[in-house]
Structure 1
Amino acid sequence: MRAVLLTGFGGPERLVYREDVPDPSAGAGEVRVRVGAAGMNNTDIWTRQGAYGSAEDPSSITGWRREPPRFPRIQGADVAGRIDQVGQGVPGARIGERVLIDPMLYQGGERDLVTTDYLGSERDGGFAELVTVPAELAHPVHSPLSDAELATFPTAYTTALRMLGRAGLAEGETVLVTGASGGVGSALVQLATARGARVVAVAGAGKHEPVRELGAEAVVDRAAPDLPAALAEALEGRQVEVVADVVAGPSFPALLGVLAPLGRYVVAGGIAGPLVQADLRTVYLRQLQLIGSSFGTHADFAGLLAYLEAGELRPLLAGSFPLRELAAAQEEFERKNFFGKLVVLPGEG
């Protein structure tokens, strides 16, 4: 089959397009999916770069579990397609079924999510013509959306659902969302709005109106020279119960500063810099909660499917690339000059 192999840590040059990769076969309890589309995520970039560090050395080169993944590896967690082969114990009637794949490969409870295998990291993923997964993770999907549109949802939206769930965002509360034009950020805006929350967002210039169209009541420019003042003006005296952050970096103190007493800060990314400084007196005197979150549970994925079946989410497909251009696609992803999600179409070579 055609596939792109990540051959080691480094730049886009470590992504090698090949047309002679052996076809995978569905094992017992598994299905094989012919990939219609596979979405891209920050995790793909950070895994290639080895950008996760370790508790002892933040600059060390590691995978997301803070250990090296096994190379070569086929990346691509967010997969939409059709089942074309089933393994032992899986009904043959599933062949031909259109599916969306839950990329979290854990079994057990919520605690197991922290050490889970992740499709495209610990197991070969969807930047290929074929991928195999446990049958229970390939969910039937009935939707008028294209495979490319469906592939924009899994990781970003389950990550956002878990963030909002861990922060306990309730109807009528105000949430501040950073990185609101990206995959997880735009998912947070849509999902928080669906929960009946009031959304104030932070986004780059030129992307404010699309964020408002998703439900944000106000949008602050991420490059504002005085971010605390810009946030205060946008909030118009309101207090923020929840900050949902995927950016971190130098803005971290300002984000803590807008939280109401007993407010909750939840973080699932650090694209502006994972190492931050803050005055812990702000945390304990205002009795704030700092909450870490990553990926989403199987229950979150079921929640995503329910939203999709109800037609309550808008796909934000910013662009697509043929498989052989994955390296160029990742370079475009890193430039962030788009709104929403980029996907790869293996059927286009």
Structure 2
Amino acid sequence: MQRDLLIDISRLIWRTWTGRLPTGIDRVCLAYVDRFASRAQAVIQRGNLRQILTPALSDAIFRLIREGGPQFRTRAPRLAMRALVAQRGGQLGEDRLYLNVGHTGLDATGLVAWTEKARVRPVYLIHDLIPLTHPEFCRVGEDIRHHRRMANALASAAGIIGNSQATLDEFAAFAKAEGKPCPPMLPALLGGHPLPADAPPIALDRPYFVTLGTIEGRKNHVLLLQLWRRLISHNPVACPKLVIIGQRGWEAQTALAMLDRLPLLQGHVDVIEDCGDTALAGYLRGARALLMPSFAEGYGLPVVEALGVGTPVVASDLPVFRELAGDMPIYCDPLDGATWLAAIAHHLQEGEIRKDQLARVQGFVMPSWEAHFAAVTPWLASL
């Protein structure tokens, strides 16, 4: 029996094949497979090849994706590659909705033509427009690629899902600048990633703060390192520890140079590049607060994770953070070091400001995938 949806699984297949650690976008792709696999066929892209897989082959790959483990990593890519080669001509979409929730192949020059030829109606989930709004924090040329992604989405989409209203506002601004109308759009907050409830707080030799995320320019680690440099110079004995949880990324030369070559920070700043969920929950529960001085964010999952375990947050005043967390964080300008120092000082004491924030955090309700799909499913049916 023909399925009424098509789901692009390319990102899950090829990233796993190369051994990369799962990202937030990967988790979104997996959530959509979990939700819609029973009524969907899989779509695979590789270079200029795109195929709609048969229901039987789709079920086999969906099963491998959901089971995970070594079988998925070895068998799923081989099945996908054979399908790309064997199904020459492929199946037609027959006007079905095609869900692409991982930006997969959105920059490809042949994407729009394929959607027309294959008779599919694309629905794209847009995660951010950071390469266009903040190109200085991205790899060279990424702004050009992302412009193609967003232009292709505008040219072919039957609908656009935004991971937040903030993202959709930026997409609408892009469409206006391009002189193009927006397709139907739906904001739907992504489900949070609940951390283990039984993970105890991790205690270090002194109070500590956590910052969470890839070490890249837009995360503004430099601000925190400069603040810690000042705190250490002022009173090394009383200085709290800074725990940076995240892998080394890009456009962060100054931050990485400070971490690698500034002896003053040693013993006061720890970097954890590989941190499982249990350890992450422990660090967040043990921290005085999560610090997020980002210049730009597509979503802000660390804020959700910290608030989800009851940890206060000090964050840049970004629209997406306000959408996710309301008045629960302390908001600071990402360039105003003095306000960050003041917020850190407040959380080193048990004063009224900290007590008030701890009380507000108790009312946080983590966005859920149930709520996400409760909004998305009927909206898809309306397209």
Tell me whether the two structures share a fold, i.e. TM-score over 0.5. Answer: no
Considering Cα pairs closer than 8 Å and 6+ residues apart, tell me whether 1 or 2 has the greater RCO: 1
Of Structure 1 and Structure 2, the greater helix share is in: 2
Q: TM-score, normalised by structure 1?
A: 0.29
Of Structure 1 and Structure 2, the greater strand share is in: 1
